[in-house]
C-alpha cells in the first residue's frame, strides 16, 4: 500500500517533535537538578558578621549571668516545640534559675507558616502585660491548636486583656520588631529554626558567640553550654 507523501511527512514531523519535546524535558530536568545541587553546595553556613543586638528583646534569667543563649525560633516549627519540651525545662532548672545563663528569644517566623507571625506578635504583646514567657510556653504547648483554636484563642486562655493585646498586635511597630529579627537572622545566614547563639555579653549590651543549629538532644546541648562556661571560667 502506498502511503501518501503528506501523511509520511506528518509522521516524520510528529516523530521529530516528540524527540524534541523529550530531549527538552530531559534537559530541563537536568538543569533543575544542577541548579538544586548548586544551591545546596553554595549554601552559606551561619556565622556572626557582627555582634547580635539584644536591647529590648524578651529574656529570662539574670542579666548578670556569665553566659547568654539567644534563640531564633518559630512558634509553628515542630523542632522548636521539641526544644521547648525536651531541652528548655532542664536548661531552666539547671542553668537559668541558678543564675548561670540568661536566655533571650528572637523571632524567626518562616514564610510557609501562616500562624508564625501572629504568634510572634501575640507573645511580644503579652510581654506588655508581663506575661511574655507564659504566652511563649502556651503557644508551644498548644502548637497543634494554632490552626483550629488560633493564636487569639490560646491568648484568651491566659487571661490576657484581649483588647489591648489585639491593638498591640496590629501596630506597625510590633511587626517591625519581628521583621528586624528576621533581617538580623538573614544578615548572619541564619535560616533554620531553631538556631542558637551561645556567648557572652559585651559592655555595649550586644552578644558575640558560637552558632548552633537544630533541636539537639539535652545531653548534646548541655555539653555545648558546659564547654562555653568552662572556657569563660578558665584563667
Cell of 117: 507571625
Mean pLDDT of 184-200: 96
Q: What is the pLDDT of residue 234?
A: 63
Q: What is the pLDDT of residue 44?
A: 75
Q: What is the pLDDT of residue 43?
A: 58
Q: What is the pLDDT of residue 12?
A: 38
**Same domain flag for 112 and 191:** yes
Distance CA 215, CA 85 (A): 10
**Same domain flag for 160 and 198:** yes
pLDDT of 161 over the 90 cut: yes
Range of the domain at 24: 1-37
- 48 in a structural domain: no
**Same domain flag for 30 and 75:** no
**Same domain flag for 6 and 90:** no
pLDDT of 186 over the 70 cut: yes
Query: How high does pLDDT run on average in the chain?
Result: 86
pLDDT of 8 over the 50 cut: no
Q: What is the pLDDT of residue 20?
A: 44
Q: CB–CB of 121/139 below 8 Å? A: no
Q: CB–CB of 100/229 below 8 Å? A: yes
Q: How confident is the model at residue 145 (pLDDT cuts 50, 70, 90)?
A: very high
Strands 101-107 and 67-73: parallel
| Number of structural domains found in the chain | 2
Distance CA 146, CA 81 (A): 13
- 43 in a structural domain: no
Q: How confident is the model at residue 42 (pLDDT cuts 50, 70, 90)?
A: low
Residue ranges of alpha helices (H) inside the chain are 5-42, 78-86, 88-91, 116-127, 132-141, 150-157, 162-169, 172-187, 218-233
Q: How confident is the model at residue 232 (pLDDT cuts 50, 70, 90)?
A: confident
**Same domain flag for 28 and 108:** no
Q: Which range among 10-14, 42-46, 106-110, 198-202 shows the weakest confidence by mean pLDDT?
A: 10-14
Q: Label residue 110 exposed, middle or buried (CB < 10 Å: 0-12, 13-18, 19+).
A: middle
Q: What is the CATH number of the domain that holds 226?
A: 3.40.30.10
Q: Is the pTM here over 0.85, yes or no?
A: no
Question: Between residues 221 and 5, which one has the greater pLDDT?
Answer: 221
Q: How confident is the model at residue 54 (pLDDT cuts 50, 70, 90)?
A: very high
Q: What is the pLDDT of residue 48?
A: 92
3-state secondary structure 25-61: HHHHHHHHHHHHHHHHHHCCCCCCCCCECCCCCCEEC
**Same domain flag for 112 and 164:** yes
Q: How confident is the model at residue 221 (pLDDT cuts 50, 70, 90)?
A: very high
**Same domain flag for 74 and 11:** no
Amino acid at each position: 500500500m502506498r502511503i501518501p507523501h503528506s501523511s509520511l511527512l506528518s509522521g516524520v514531523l510528529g516523530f521529530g517533535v516528540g524527540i524534541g519535546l523529550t530531549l527538552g524535558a530531559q534537559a530541563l530536568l537536568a538543569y533543575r537538578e544542577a541548579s538544586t545541587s548548586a544551591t545546596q553546595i553554595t549554601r552559606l553556613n551561619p556565622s556572626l558578621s557582627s555582634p547580635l543586638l539584644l536591647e529590648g528583646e524578651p529574656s529570662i534569667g539574670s542579666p548578670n549571668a556569665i553566659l547568654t543563649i539567644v534563640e531564633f525560633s518559630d512558634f509553628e516549627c515542630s523542632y522548636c516545640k521539641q526544644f521547648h519540651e525536651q531541652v528548655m525545662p532542664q536548661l531552666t532548672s539547671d542553668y537559668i534559675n541558678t543564675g548561670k545563663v540568661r536566655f533571650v528569644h528572637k523571632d524567626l517566623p518562616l514564610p510557609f507558616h501562616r500562624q508564625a507571625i501572629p504568634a510572634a506578635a501575640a507573645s511580644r504583646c503579652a510581654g506588655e502585660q508581663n506575661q511574655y514567657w507564659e504566652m511563649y510556653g502556651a503557644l508551644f504547648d498548644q502548637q497543634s491548636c494554632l490552626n483550629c483554636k488560633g493564636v487569639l484563642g490560646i491568648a484568651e486562655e491566659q487571661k490576657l486583656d484581649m483588647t489591648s493585646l489585639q491593638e498591640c498586635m496590629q501596630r506597625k511597630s510590633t511587626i517591625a520588631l519581628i521583621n528586624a529579627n528576621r533581617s538580623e537572622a538573614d544578615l548572619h545566614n541564619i535560616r533554620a529554626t531553631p538556631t542558637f547563639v551561645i556567648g557572652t555579653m559585651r559592655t555595649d549590651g550586644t552578644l558575640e558567640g558560637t552558632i548552633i543549629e537544630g533541636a539537639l538532644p539535652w545531653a548534646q546541648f548541655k555539653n555545648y553550654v558546659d564547654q562555653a562556661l568552662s572556657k569563660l571560667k578558665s584563667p
